[in-house]
Structure 1
Amino acid sequence: MPSSLPRRTVLAAGAALLVGACSQEQAGRRTTGGRAAGGAFPRTVEHERGATEVPAAPRRVVAVTDGAELASLLALGVRPVGFGQRTDPLQPWTQEGLGQVGGQVPTYDLSSGEVDLEQLAAWRPDLLLVQDGFDADGMFERLSALAPTVTTSFIDWRRSVRQVADAVGRPEDGGRLVSRTEAVARSARGRLSPYRGARLAMVVSFASGEDFLLNAASPVGKLAPALGLAPFPASRTPGEAVEQVSAELLGDALEGADLVAVLAFEDGDPALARVVERPELAGVPAVAAGRVAALSVEESNGAYFDSVLTVPRNVALLERLARLGA
């Protein structure tokens, strides 16, 4: 995790159940790609780069990254022939999703952010899915020269699911997947009725001295109102999930919080101590009362990653934090 958090470069049982339900529903469709159930081919798929014609039901689907496009594909029960891997080991939700479609598949090293066109070509894809941001600087055109390419949203999991489902010819399945995932949040809202309006502040504090607050555009920020919790701070920059806060103003930003949660992106990072031990924050009510929580690396990554597979995890996280702040 770098010391700053631009959305384009950063990257639970509930998630496993969600993927499992979809995989069982789509049994027999997951070995090599999506079948055209509910969608005829050729078809035109609208996406972040415009529109792409997919001439036939894809059988060799490749995800350029291990991001939201892969998460949507796995949640639909489709096994890719390969994908780009940014994190080693893979995020837990990705591992669970792969388990539901038959286990590990070939990958290429994407830790540098460099797309390996040669490896993609070697997989002989008939459909390429790429998360928005990894298709810039002419990459979309180069990918499109290999196979029909669909660019998926990285800030809207619903849109990502629908784009992927449309591309593999299963728009109805995509709609059902969105509905099932939204039901997870609706169920939690009922359980959280005693904590309605609870205000959570989620802080990223780096050893370099930079502080950030997750905002209303972050995955957890978008979920909070749906659960009946207080809205997160408004996003000042379109597409950004965090707002940088100066050390002088951090106390003011945390003043009304019922609970302060501190994210960490490396094991052993004393991020919580960097926040709660600051003398200037001693007067913040939540800090003074000990209503603070340190998130695990897994929880922190999930809170920052917008995908259909992280929604159940983030719902469970927000539910836990709301109860802790009571």
Structure 2
Amino acid sequence: MLSRPKWTIAVALVLLVTACGQPAKPSSSGVGDTEVATGGRLFATADAETAKLGSDAAPGVFPRTVKHSLGETKLEKKPSRVVVLDSGELDAVLSLGLTPVGMATTAGQSGVPSYLADRVKTVQTVGEINNLNLEAITKLNPDLILGSKLRANDLYPQLSAIAPTVFSIRPGFPWKENTLLVADALGLETQADTVLNDYQKRVNEVKQGIKGTPKISLLRFLSGNIRLYGNLSFIGVILKDVGLARPANQDINELAAQISKERIDQADADWIFYSSYGAGPSPDEKAVTSSGLWTALGAVKAGHAIPVNDEVWFLGLGPVGAMKVLDDLKKHLA
């Protein structure tokens, strides 16, 4: 596989040659989509800024320097004792065939996304995502710490003093780029390409089986907060990859838009997929889904309002979770 800068140049040359007589293809997301169909890659990336991060080293070769959101980190050897600070890094590391020695817990139902629970029974916890235990991390003697600037920016100096630390810019919609960054830090670039190519192949299968052109609404209940999720979200990227349309109020280059219980009509579409953050249906979900406003929605009347696993659809943030979302989409829409 070509290193990232050389690969970028190669793609540019291919596009220059093949674009003669053809109009330029605009970015449909507004965030710098890059179609990757060379070098064995079949998938598209969603965030040009995040895609700039990574290493120039040949696959699997150490030492290497990894460019990330807070600078550059040198790794003298292939890491084996990895601590992950969010569910996205956890999913990505597991998808590449490595089990971390430590992980931060989430506010989900069991502290770790349930779909990953069986794979992390022996992994030590190092506090919560927003309340990390630096002493616990130190005791694990890690040789790599993976997290994000959005989650743990202020702790980067302390973390990098414990072990080499690589931070993405943010979790969520750049989940494919984040997986590639994790792979660069681990020297598992080839494995990452395989994982993401498998995802894209599954996307293509699901896309072919979808009936019609349904519009999909993403509704999530948080504590005192009801959100409609937009394009700059983990699930928003997956829906776009599958080619599923969104209502105008969700076809936005934002993470989400907030609505009130009284305006739940704004969540209507051909299909509504909804969940609550945390353990069990939230009070807001219970109140909304038992109301007359809810039963009047077209999707509800059609039996197309589907509760989904929040820990997969909104907390997964990595390839394993993405594949499970595709399974759900095929189940309901094919």
TM (norm. structure 2) is: 0.71
Q: Of the candidates 197, 213, 216, which is equivalent to residue 228 of structure 2?
A: 213
Is 1:303–2:317 an aligned residue pair? no
Q: Of the candidates 109, 122, 125, which is equivalent to residue 107 of structure 1?
A: 125
Q: 2:28: which partner in 1? A: none
| Contact map agreement 1:72 1:164 (CA 8 A) in 2 | yes
Equivalence map 1:78-89=2 (5 Å)? 78-87=98-107, 88-89=110-111
Deviations 1:153-195 (A, max 9, x none): 4122211211111111121222222111222212211221x23
> In structure 2, do the counterparts of structure 1 residues 245 and 127 end up closer, same or farther at CA, with 3 Å as the change threshold?
same
Is 1:132–2:149 an aligned residue pair? yes
Structure 1: distance between partners of 2:126 and 2:222: 30
User: Aligned Cα RMSD in Å?
Assistant: 2.7
> In structure 2, do the counterparts of structure 1 residues 207 and 147 end up closer, same or farther at CA, with 3 Å as the change threshold?
closer
Structure 2: distance between partners of 1:133 and 1:207: 21
Q: 1:43: which partner in 2? A: 64
Deviations 1:255-297 (A, max 9, x none): 5x112333123325465553344445565433444442333xx
How much does 1:43 deviate?
0.5
Q: 1:243: which partner in 2? A: 257
How much does 1:105 deviate?
2.1
Q: Which amino acid aligns with 1:172?
A: T
> In structure 2, do the counterparts of structure 1 residues 189 and 172 end up closer, same or farther at CA, with 3 Å as the change threshold?
same
Structure 1: distance between partners of 2:203 and 2:92: 18
> In structure 2, do the counterparts of structure 1 residues 207 and 279 end up closer, same or farther at CA, with 3 Å as the change threshold?
farther
Q: 2:78: which partner in 1? A: 57
Q: Which amino acid aligns with 2:257?
A: E
Structure 2: 5+ residue stretches without partners? 1-56
Equivalence map 1:1-326=2 (5 Å)? 38-63=59-84, 65-87=85-107, 88-98=110-120, 103-110=121-128, 113-137=130-154, 139-152=155-168, 153-155=170-172, 156-192=174-210, 194-195=211-212, 197-205=213-221, 208=224, 210-231=225-246, 233-235=250-252, 237=254, 240=255, 242-247=256-261, 249-251=263-265, 253-255=266-268, 257-265=269-277, 266-269=279-282, 274-280=287-293, 283-295=296-308, 299-305=309-315, 306-322=317-333
| Contact map agreement 2:95 2:320 (CA 8 A) in 1 | yes
Structure 1: distance between partners of 2:330 and 2:288: 22
| Contact map agreement 1:71 1:97 (CA 8 A) in 2 | no
Deviations 1:116-165 (A, max 9, x none): 1112111112211123323222x111111111110134122211211111
Q: Which amino acid aligns with 2:74?
A: E
Deviations 1:222-276 (A, max 9, x none): 2123223213513354xx2x2102455442x245x11233312332546555334
SS of residue matched to 1:187: helix
Structure 1: distance between partners of 2:60 and 2:223: 51
Structure 2: distance between partners of 1:110 and 1:220: 23
SS of residue matched to 2:251: coil
Structure 1: distance between partners of 2:208 and 2:98: 32
Structure 2: distance between partners of 1:83 and 1:59: 14
How much does 1:109 deviate?
2.8
How much does 1:73 deviate?
1.0
SS of residue matched to 1:186: helix
> In structure 2, do the counterparts of structure 1 residues 309 and 81 end up closer, same or farther at CA, with 3 Å as the change threshold?
same
Q: 1:8: which partner in 2? A: none
Structure 2: distance between partners of 1:272 and 1:313: 23
